[in-house]
């Protein structure tokens, strides 16, 4: 493998996905380099969330491939992709009825647990031990995110912004190498958004690679480099925040031109 290939932690190659007559993903190709916070932007309906679903195994592509750390994960189940180090969050966090924040942490990312849920089926004997390990990890991560005071709260009683923080904290419990965040600050107040930003930076400094969908341009331009611009399911351009912001095709796409 060349140095360049070793640096690529996620490779999206010629991905294709249609829903009936609608092409949501159209020959999308891009790489995410290890250690980056890579932004994925584009107008509403550009196909950003669909790409996340394709990458993380929630949708099966009609064509093309997804590689994580050089392994072809195309067509794998979400938990199998998670086991290879890639975890995602959802644009709309799932409902957490009947659970405290602490319990919600232990469930793992929806349908994509790098943790207890998988082991329950694959190695039941390891569960008791891993449960207590998970609990300790959950407590530590809640403290790191400065939301340990919420641990006993019903997960439905916390604010939307706090829920986003819990979503990020829960994803971190799976210790992903690559974390895909779908609009982490949508509906989050400025104070919590700042907190989320510093948490993402901190985790990135410690080695987690991020692919970040975000509508808030200031947030994504400040945090991500490079930025991949998606329009009508295809990659329009990619580059530094500065180059992307000044690209006439990007301006046109956002203005519907
Ligand atoms: P974005 O996240 O960039 O706003 P999406 O990926 O959610 O865009 O959607 C891209 C297009 O694909 C939209 O036209 C959307 O309606 C369509 N789409 C996404 N998921 C589905 C689905 N499960 N069934 C049918 N159409 C879908
Ligand atoms: Mg979306």
CA distance 11 to 70: 8
pLDDT single digits (tens) 188-221: 888 888 888 998 999 999 999 999 999 888 999 9
Q: Which residues have their alpha-adjacent CB atom under 5 A from ion ligand 2?
A: 48-49
Best residue among 17, 20, 24 to mutate for probing ligand 1's pocket (most ligand atoms within 8 Å of CB) is: 24
Phi and psi at 61, nearest 5°, equal -70, 155
User: With 0-12 CB in 10 A as exposed, 13-18 as middle and 19+ as buried, what is 46?
Assistant: buried
Asked if residue 170 lies in contact with residue 108, where contact means CB atoms within 8 angstroms, the answer is yes
Which pLDDT score is estimated for 76? 94
Q: Which residues pair with 239 in a beta bridge?
A: 227
Which pLDDT score is estimated for 4? 63
- ipTM at complex level: 0.98
pLDDT single digits (tens) 62-97: 999 999 999 999 999 988 998 899 999 887 766 677
Best residue among 19, 21, 51, 90 to mutate for probing ligand 1's pocket (most ligand atoms within 8 Å of CB) is: 19
């Amino acid at each position: 493998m060349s140095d360049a290939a070793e640096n690529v932690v996620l490779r999206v190659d010629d991905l294709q996905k249609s829903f009936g007559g609608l092409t949501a993903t159209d020959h999308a190709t891009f790489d995410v380099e290890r250690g980056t916070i890579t932004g994925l932007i584009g107008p509403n309906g550009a196909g950003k969330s669909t790409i996340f679903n394709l990458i993380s195994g929630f949708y099966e592509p009609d064509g093309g491939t997804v590689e994580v750390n050089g392994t072809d994960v195309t067509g794998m189940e979400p938990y199998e992709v998670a086991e290879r180090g890639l975890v995602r969050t959802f644009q709309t966090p799932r409902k957490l009825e009947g659970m405290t924040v602490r319990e919600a942490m232990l469930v793992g990312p929806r349908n994509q647990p790098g943790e207890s849920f998988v082991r329950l089926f694959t190695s039941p004997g390891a569960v008791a031990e891993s449960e207590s390990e998970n609990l300790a990890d959950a407590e530590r991560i809640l403290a790191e995110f400065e939301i340990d005071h919420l641990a006993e709260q019903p997960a439905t009683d916390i604010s939307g912004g706090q829920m986003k923080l819990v979503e990020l904290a829960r994803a971190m419990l799976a210790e992903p190498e690559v974390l895909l965040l779908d609009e982490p600050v949508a509906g989050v107040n400025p104070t919590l958004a700042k907190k989320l930003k510093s948490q993402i930076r901190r985790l990135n400094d410690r080695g987690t690679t991020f692919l970040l969908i975000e509508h808030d341009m200031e947030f994504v331009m400040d945090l991500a480099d490079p930025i991949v611009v998606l329009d009508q399911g295809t990659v329009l351009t990619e580059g530094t925040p500065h180059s992307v912001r000044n690209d006439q095709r990007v301006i046109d796409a956002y203005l519907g031109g």
